Amino acid sequence: MSVIEPTWITLRDGTKIHARSPSVDDIPALLRYLDRMRRETEGVLWSPQDDLPTPDDERKWVEKQAQNPGDVHVTAWVNDELASMAGIESGRRARTRHSGVLGLSVMQAWHHRGVGTAMMRLLLDWARRHPSLELVKLEVFTDNPWAIHLYERCGFTRDGVSPRHAKRGPGRYADVMHMSLWLGEKQS
């Protein structure tokens, strides 16, 4: 089972965040987070027009991620507010199990305060300890320079761009940059 053990992290402004893997008890907060995230930013693929998962869908997701040794997810809480969600999901087939796809979102109120950096450190520490994970990949919108800068500080390199990856409205598109971090070949 891949979990992030509960840990307290102090941000540069002194704020303490509680980071841990999500549980089924978090489902109402997870759904509120997803709803708020899709409404407050164009930096994620979800939009207000997309349906949210049902509580049962979310329960299945939480239970599934806790059972797959190649996946890990983490939530960051400030007091009782969910400030960030992140995770890595590894390939399901033998030829792709060495690679994982990283996703990270941070509520706007917590941008530029170190939450994203803390979440990246947790995930990449987990990835480096993972017995077979050699490559971590991600996608980021090219109009999100703060996120690109964070990923580059963490060692990710730019691999290419897919134009018009997401449609944001009539005649409005967003390009996505592919980035990756090579952790090194492991004997698995």
pLDDT tens-digit map of 24-73: 999 999 999 999 999 888 888 888 888 999 999 999 988 887 677 889 99
| Residue 140, in any domain of the structure | no
Q: What is the mean pLDDT of residues 157-177?
A: 95
Note the pLDDT of residue 41: 85
Q: What is the mean pLDDT of residues 1-20?
A: 91
Instruction: Tell me how many domains the chain contains.
Output: 1
Cα–Cα separations (whole angstroms), residue 125 to 68, 116, 134, 174, 183: 18, 14, 12, 31, 11
- Please work out, in degrees rounded to the nearest 5, the angle formed at the alpha carbon of residue 160 by the alpha carbons of 107 and 114: 25
| Residue 83, in any domain of the structure | yes
Q: What is the mean pLDDT of residues 140-159?
A: 97
Q: What is the mean pLDDT of residues 80-100?
A: 94
Write the pLDDT tens digit of every residue in 111-146: 999 999 999 999 999 999 999 999 999 999 999 999
| Residue 188, in any domain of the structure | no
Four-point Cα dihedral 96, 180, 62, 97, nearest 10: 10
**DSSP 3-state assignment of 101?**
strand
| Residue 24, in any domain of the structure | yes
Write the pLDDT tens digit of every residue in 173-187: 999 999 999 999 987
Is 3 or 115 the better-scoring residue by pLDDT? 115
CATH number of the domain within which 17 lies: 3.40.630.30
pLDDT at 188 over 70: no
Note the pLDDT of residue 43: 82
Domain extent, residue 44, equals: 7-133
Q: Smallest Cα–Cα separation from 38: which of 30, 50, 22?
A: 50
| Residue 186, in any domain of the structure | no
Q: What is the mean pLDDT of residues 149-177?
A: 96
pLDDT at 1 over 60: no
| Residue 33, in any domain of the structure | yes
| Residue 49, in any domain of the structure | yes
pLDDT at 105 over 80: yes
Q: What is the mean pLDDT of residues 154-164?
A: 97
| Residue 52, in any domain of the structure | yes
